[in-house]
Chains A and B, each alone.
Chain A
Amino acid sequence: MSAPSLTPSKAGRPRHSQPPPAGPPSPGGSFGRSLKRNLTAHGFLIGAVLCFAFFSWYPMVREFFLAFQKTDQGEVSWVGLDNLRTVFNDPAFWQAWRNTLLFTVLALVFGFAVPFVVALVINELRHGKGYLRLLVYLPVMLPPVAAVLLFKYLYDPGYGLLNELFGSVGLPEQQWLQDPDLSMLSVVIASTWMNMGGAALIYLAALQGIPGELYEAAELDGAGLLRKIWHVTIPQTRLILSLMLLMQIIATMQVFVEPFLLTGGAGPEGSTTTVVYLIYQYAFNFNDYGAAAALGLLLLVLLAGFSAAYVKLSRAEDE
């Protein structure tokens, strides 16, 4: 069987081929009429627009200019591409990008798949769904710093619970956060545990919106569990999965708190230095706000590129 398309049929789309009938001219034109009709709505919008303007858009615009300026507190001077040169010449620059990409890939493998599987399991349960939902969501309610410090104790090579467990079943102790080969993976596992509750609930909501008859039809066709997931669940949740994928890429590329608290930022031999940690170093250790803004701009451009590519791909698919 094929999954029903989620795009509205052409027949159902509003037609705009005919121009609207010309009415009597009004002083404000159609914009004025629309404004008057939606006055209350616009009133409500103003607050949000002002908040976004002051706290989101203005800092973004300011950052753009800052990337080409040198600021010595009160004094600002234009330095062209000097800040970008500083950033490119930093020995940690490429390592930070490699680490960030590694974190993103690992976070997608773990952070994307695990919550989806958890949501599938909860969705299949007949009893205790509510309790399990609560249990899965519990870590999200912990303050991030507390959750990270909890993992720091778990991972401690001297007296950590994880090595105790390994020892009790005869496995060799590991240097979790202190081994350059394991450090990033350990950070990803902690991060996944902290954040999976929210993602799992979103997947669960999407799963519960799938009509039961589709599964019944699939069962009549002789589909087993895996085939049902492949042919019904995934196509039905495709849009939410794509959206979560994009959001996860954007969020994981800005990772900072977990490596900063677990490994002191850079990690063994710089193995957990991320791009945002480097921005933090420029801004708050070296007081070089221009270089911090330049690196932030590079990250912004990359993430904007991801978003644009995603929007284009999803549009092409819809059409």
Chain B
Amino acid sequence: MKLLVIEDEPGLSQTITQFLQSQGHICETATTYQQAQEKIGVYAYDCVLIDLMLPGGNGLDILSQLKQEHQETGAIIISAKDSLGDKLAGLDLGADDYLPKPFHLAELNSRIKSILRRTKFEGSASLEVGRLRINTEARTVFVDNQPVSLNRKEYDLLLLFATNKNRVIKKSALAEHVWGDNADQSDSYDFIYSQIKNLRKRFSQVGYELDIQTVYGIGYKFLAD
């Protein structure tokens, strides 16, 4: 997929780009308002990441230009401001998602994939990982066409693992993905383990071994083909 990262911080732009390329995407960058305008005017992208505060202008204007010229392109606002006003304005202008900085790359990955699924397959696509099939629209999970019943948290957890298969996901990224973006959150990391145990149990009930490995003390990795 072809992505554009509009971000004026070179360090952040670089890590995001590297990460997206490692995920097999073609990734371009724009660091100023004008650059972004030009690139959007000339090329078509599958998904665009837009930082709101740009030298030369506001990312929201880029967003409205993008949505006028390429209705089908997905857009994620990445903002340091984390303000409700910006979020609402962005979503009103047609942004598909809003991700406040600092975010986890695993989370970004999950959100981009979700948007691509929606825009490329008109929402009907399901996510297939090995013997697993996840219908993201209906939030249902199947192993070899056999339904697995998961509660909301277990489903969220599985989705993050599935969209980041074979990658180490930090405990904090899992915690934030499932329990939301909380401040004083160091207390919830210990509970990831029991949630993963529960998740494994759900699958072992239908005779499927969910291969989630602990990686040192840092996080977990979902191994799948």
| Chains A and B bind each other | no
